[in-house]
């Protein structure tokens, strides 16, 4: 069994500045339609989802290389609990790693947003010959 984690923190002001500077170009490059429908006017929520995308990339071991921002989506259940949905290459990478689901915790203060993600795989990293 293998455990994976990722964490990221971002200044909410950076997201506000990006939206002010780049507008729709930035929003549509980073966020899915569903994320924008729910959080477009909530800078702290956008920042938390940005941090989550970064944290998932760390968990998958890809950094920003090879995975598009929009392939990682963070929405909330009706209870408010966040959930991560993977698409495209992000889903392929998770499948290769044996990851079935990613748990996520989001939080923000007045200035910062943070995301912590974790996953478990039945595949033992030491059993894989290509690692």
87 catalytic, yes or no? no
Which helix (H) or strand (E) element contains residue 10? strand 2-11
Question: Which residue is catalytic, options 41, 87, 108, 110?
Answer: 108
Question: Which residue is catalytic, options 16, 41, 58, 110?
Answer: 58
16 catalytic, yes or no? no
User: What are the catalytic residues?
Assistant: 58, 108
């Amino acid at each position: 069994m293998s455990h994976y984690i990722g964490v990221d923190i971002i200044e909410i002001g950076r997201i506000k500045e990006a939206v002010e500077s780049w507008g729709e170009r930035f929003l549509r490059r980073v966020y899915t339609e569903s994320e924008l429908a729910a959080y477009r006017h909530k800078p702290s929520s956008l920042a938390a989802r940005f941090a989550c995308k970064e944290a998932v990339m760390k968990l998958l071991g890809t950094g920003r290389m090879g995975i598009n921002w929009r392939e990682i989506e963070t929405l909330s259940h009706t209870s408010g609990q966040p959930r991560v949905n993977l698409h495209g290459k992000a889903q392929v990478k998770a499948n290769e790693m044996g990851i079935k689901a990613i748990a996520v915790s989001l939080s923000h203060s007045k200035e910062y947003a943070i995301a912590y993600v974790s996953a478990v795989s039945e595949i033992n990293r030491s059993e894989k010959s290509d690692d």
